[in-house]
Chains A and B, each alone.
Chain A
Amino acid sequence: MSKQTFDLSAQSLRELNSALHALKGQTNQTAWDIVNPRGSHAIAAGLDAPLDVTVHGSTGYYCAGMNKHATVRIKGSAGPGVAQNMMSGAVIIDGDASQYAGATGRGGLLVIKGNASSRCGISMKGIDIVVHGNIGHMSAFMAQSGNLVVLGNAGDALGDSLYEARMFVRGTVKSLGADCIEKQMRPEHYELLEDLLRRGEAEGKAKPEEFRRYGSARKLYNFNIDNADAY
């Protein structure tokens, strides 16, 4: 196995992503260091191989979007839409994430060691997200499945109009969105959380019993004729 270093101040973003996209299935070039990212957009987006990519610095829009199989580590903060529509693999951010982190993600694990801003996990469809800090307003809006774990606090309208995603928040929730309610923590949830905290590199930072669970009241699933006037 050889370690590849790619300097974004010397070569273009397109050259980087072309090189990474050329690696499919089995490859010996599995470890990549990307230096001088300087907030560029779409770094390591669309990966489709079991690579281990480390970005040394902060990234712009859509870093590691549509990720499949790869592990992408960001040694800085991430701009909007990080790990958007992730399919599998992992994205681990040392700093903060801007709006709609992990949006529409279908699988894999997103770890944010700082704070996430608004709309974290919006329309998530199976991704697991672990945020060590706080999350902003409208997070998990219309979330369909997957788990969102927050060690800090959640902003306004958490889980508005959500379907079957689970949210676990350790701190305060500023307000719950429409049809989102607190639910009882059952043994299987403690077990699930323990695993998520371990995989989310938050073991030792929080214990499963410190969290509250939120989910859908399932009242918006079917059209209610009494609400006709509201439309």
Chain B
Amino acid sequence: MCGIVGLFIKDPALEPKLGELLTDMLITMTDRGPDSAGIAIYSRPDDGLAKITVQSANPSADFATLDKDLKEAIGKPVALKVKSTHAVIELPMNQVEAARSALAHLCPDVRVMSAGDSLEIYKEVGLPKDVAARFDLAKMKGTHGIGHTRMATESAVTTLGAHPFSTGSDQCLVHNGSLSNHNSLRRKLAREGIQTATQNDTEVGAAYLTWKMREGATLGEALESTIDDIDGFFTFVVGTKDGFGVIRDPIACKPAVMAETDQYVAFGSEYRALVNLPGIDNARVWEPEPSTVYFWNH
């Protein structure tokens, strides 16, 4: 079992409340996944700046001089915002790859959670309410976001085993289910130059979509092809810089419910997760069909 929540804002007036709404949805899904929790938030990008979200098991040591060290290494301005075990590095758009190489050298124990120009990912082990409080998720603003509460099956309960997973710029994925062919697919993706950081099945699902989109597929096409290429149980919810998508495997035993109003599109593993959304009583509420791609773009 796991819990998934997602919110895609259509009415900009609701953007300041994204974090608050998504945090409430996430905490409601605690009994589906009390092991760890995570959230991916997309916000309107600042002009010309990219973001890298990093995580450390020893943040006070690793983040103390990271901005200065990184600035020296890449020779460009760098800003660092520390949030508990995570930090967001802001830097010029074309400096992401240089900064990632420098990071691997400067502090090899620091993990990159996400990179892009609008995505930030925060995830940790612990109860969703504690994870949300630790990162002050309720105060975050944005255009769309995805959250996950994890009950681990396929790999250990660690920060890196928590969802969302990001394997490409501004891309992320959360998953309820378990994949059967992730080992062979991981090897195939490695041959295509797509690297994964963990032994987790979900990360392979994320990496698969990254590969498909790198090869020219749209988000919708990439999701469609999971039906043929990914074996196992899955309800995936994915985010891109301006999009939000959902797909369920053909058996569709992992629950899913969606709601749409003029203001938003929402996803929940259960209807309970949606009950506090504004106007939910008049929303169009439905269960997404198996093997069917749903996606929305800004």
Contacts and interface: CB of A to CB of B under 8 A. Distances in A.
A38 B275 contact: yes
Nearest to A80: B255
Interface string B268-298: 0011111100000000011101100000000
B107 interface: no
A96 B275 contact: no
Given A58-B285, A118-B290, A39 B270 contact: yes
A20 to B, nearest CB: 20
A45 to B, nearest CB: 16
Interface in A53-84: 58-61, 77, 79-80
B271 A39 contact: yes
B272 A40 contact: yes
Contacts of B127: none
A39 B290 contact: no
A117 B251 CA distance: 11
A137 B250 CA distance: 9
Contact of B272 (A60, A96, A99): A60
Contacts of A118: 251-253, 290
A145 interface: no
Name which of B253, B275, B287 has the most chain A CB atoms within 10 A of its CB: B287
A98 interface: yes
Interface residues of B, number: 17
A60 B252 contact: no
A40 B272 CA distance: 7
B270 A60 contact: yes
Contacts of A136: 252, 289-290
Contacts of A58: 271, 285
Contacts of B272: 38-40, 60
B287 A117 contact: yes
B285 A77 contact: yes
Interface string B71-85: 000000000000000
Interface string B214-258: 000000000000000000000000000000000000111101010
Interface string A110-147: 00000001100000000000000000110000000000
B290 A96 contact: no
A4 to B, nearest CB: 23
Interface string A3-22: 00000000000000000000
B259 to A, nearest CB: 11
Contacts of A39: 270-275
A62 to B, nearest CB: 12
Interface in A19-58: 38-40, 58
Contacts of B285: 58, 77
Nearest to B248: A118
A58 B287 CA distance: 13
A99 B252 contact: yes
A39 B31 CA distance: 14
Contacts of A117: 252, 287
A56 to B, nearest CB: 11
Nearest to B286: A96
Contacts of A59: 271
B252 A77 contact: no
B270 A137 contact: no
A79 B257 CA distance: 9
A60 B273 CA distance: 10
Contacts of B250: 137
Nearest to B275: A38
A64 to B, nearest CB: 16
Given A118-B251, A136-B252, A137-B250, 10 more contacts: A38-B272, A39-B275, A58-B271, A60-B272, A80-B255, A96-B287, A98-B255, A98-B257, A117-B252, A136-B290
13 contacts: A39-B270, A40-B272, A60-B270, A60-B271, A61-B270, A96-B287, A98-B287, A118-B252, A118-B253, A118-B290, A136-B252, A136-B289, A137-B252
